[in-house]
Amino acid sequence: MNRILVLVFASSACLAQGAFWQLGNDFSNTTNPNGVWTLLKNPTMPFTSCWPDYYQNSSNQPTWAEEQFPQNAHVPFWASSTVDNFQGLDLKKGDVFAHGAETDRTGTDYTAVRWTAPHAGVAAIQAYIWNVRVLGRTMVWEIKKNGVAVSQGLITSNGSYPSTSKLNLASGSGGPAALNHAVVAGDTLELGLTSSPPVVGEIMGIIFNVATDQPSRLVGSIVPSDYIGDLSGKTVTCEVWSGSTLVNKPKITLGPGGTYAFDPTPNGAVSLRFRMQSTLVKTANVVLGSSSQVLNVALISGDIDASGEVDAADIDAVIADFGLTTDVPADVDGSAEVDAADIDVVISRFGEVDA
pLDDT of amino acid 9 = 42
Q: What is the pTM of this model?
A: 0.64
pLDDT at 153: 94
Which of the pair, 230 or 215, is modelled with greater confidence?
Answer: 230
Phi, psi dihedrals of residue 316, rounded to the nearest 5°: -60, -40
pLDDT band with cut points at 50, 70 and 90 for residue 279: very high
Q: Are residues 169 and 51 in the same domain?
A: yes
As a whole number, the mean pLDDT across the chain is 86
Distance CA 111, CA 96 (A): 14
Q: Note whether residue 202 is domain-resident.
A: yes
pLDDT(5) > 60:
no
How many CB atoms neighbour CB 311 within 10 A? Answer: 19
Q: Are residues 222 and 208 in the same domain?
A: no
**Same structural domain, 30 and 170:** yes
pLDDT of residue 18: 58
Amino acid 301: pLDDT: 93
Quote the number of domains for the chain.
2
What average pLDDT does this structure show over 164-187?
A: 92
pLDDT at 229 over 50: yes
Query: Does residue 114 share a domain with residue 43?
Result: yes
Q: What is the pLDDT of residue 282?
A: 95
Residue 13 has pLDDT above 50, yes or no: no
User: Is residue 223 in a domain?
Assistant: yes
Give the domain-ending residue among 191, 212, 233.
212
* Region of poorest pLDDT, from 89-103, 258-272, 298-312, 324-338: 258-272
Q: Tell me whether residue 311 is in a domain.
A: yes
Q: Is the dihedral of CA 164, 165, 169, 170 positive or negative?
A: positive
Same domain (yes/no): 86, 116: yes
Give the range of the structural domain holding residue 222, as residue numbers without chain letter. 218-348
Q: Does 63 lie in the same domain as 190?
A: yes
Residue where one domain finishes, among candidates 197, 212, 227: 212
Cα dihedral across residues 291, 296, 297, 301: positive or negative: positive
CA distance 40 to 113: 6
The whole-number average pLDDT for the span 9-18 is 40
Average pLDDT for 243-253:
86
- Domain termination residue (choose one: 179, 212, 245): 212
Q: Is the domain of 28 the same as that of 78?
A: yes
Q: Name the nearest CA neighbour of 259 among 288, 225, 230.
A: 230
Express as a percent the part of the chain with pLDDT over 90.
49
- Neighbour order of strands in the sheet with 138-145: 37-40, 110-116, 188-194, 138-145, 148-156
Cα distance between residue 281 and residue 353, in whole Å: 8
Residues 164, 241 share a domain? no
Task: Indicate whether 316 and 334 sit together in one domain.
Answer: yes
Give CA–CA dist 29/49, Å, rounded: 9
Which of 10-24, 55-69, 97-111, 202-216 holds the top average pLDDT? 55-69
Q: What is the pLDDT of residue 216?
A: 61
